[in-house]
Amino acid sequence: MEYNTQQRKLPLPEYGRSVQHMVDHALTIEDREERQRCARTIVNIMGGMFPALRDSADFNRRLWDHLAIMSDFQLDIDYPVEVVKRESLEVKPDRLSYPQKNIRFRHYGRFIEDLAKTAADMPDGEEKQRLLFLVASHMKRDYLNWNKDSVEDQKIFDDLSLLADGKVQLSTADFRLAEQRPFIPRKKQMGGSQKKKY
């Protein structure tokens, strides 16, 4: 018995080894008309494997592209559409730039740091105070998820001040943050049905 792992790697494994054998057979056909008919049949079979994609605009062109790829661009037929070129498949995409900014407190994350700076730059008023309270509450939740110990509100306010480059000075006299519990996932019971609690 020959395992698939012992056989050659398929260029497009989503079509399976049977379709690849059909393409390999089409390469051996000498009569051009017969080879063309065989290619059309293979494309029809490939299209039948993914009926949900039939409504997409470039479905037919994509099938012919796949046939060319599976034949390693060796199949000499009259393609009804312009197929992809081998060179375009070998082009590597440009490297994506990744932000290299350091995060001062990793357990709060970049988003909280940006929010703290945004809140610090807002004009004084009720909206600024509300945003600061929301940011501090979220910071406390993040801190407890990271540390699992209790944390004083003043520690959160000091960290918020550091994140806002000293533009925000809060104390426990200004705000009182709600008690937060760290998120601990519940274990699922093995077997038996769980009763819903209302």
Confidence band for 58, pLDDT divided at 50, 70 and 90: confident
- Report the C-alpha gap between 7 and 163 in whole angstroms: 57
Give pLDDT tens digits for 147-192: 777 778 888 888 888 888 888 887 777 677 777 665 556 666 665 5
pLDDT at 20: 92
In this structure, which amino acid lies at residue 59? F
* Contacts by residues 29-33 (CB-CB < 8 Å, ≥ 24 positions apart): 32/76, 32/77
pLDDT at 46: 92
In the chain, where the domains are located: 11-88, 101-180
pLDDT at 184: 59
Average pLDDT of every residue of the chain:
83
pLDDT at 53: 82
Structure tokens at 86: 């081998």
The DSSP result for 124-160, as a single string, is SSHHHHHHHHHHHHHHHHHHHHHH-S---HHHHHHHH
Share of the chain above pLDDT 90, in %: 26
**Averaged over 116-143, what is the pLDDT?**
87
Give pLDDT tens digits for 133-142: 888 888 888 8
The answer to whether the beta carbons of residues 137 and 177 sit under 8 Å apart is yes
pLDDT at 197: 53
Could you tell me the pTM of the whole model? 0.49
pLDDT at 155: 85
The answer to whether the beta carbons of residues 104 and 64 sit under 8 Å apart is no
**Averaged over 1-5, what is the pLDDT?**
74
pLDDT at 159: 87
Give pLDDT tens digits for 69-111: 999 999 999 999 998 888 888 888 888 887 777 878 888 888 8
pLDDT at 124: 87
DSSP 3-state assignment of 21? helix
pLDDT at 27: 93
pLDDT at 142: 85
pLDDT at 188: 66
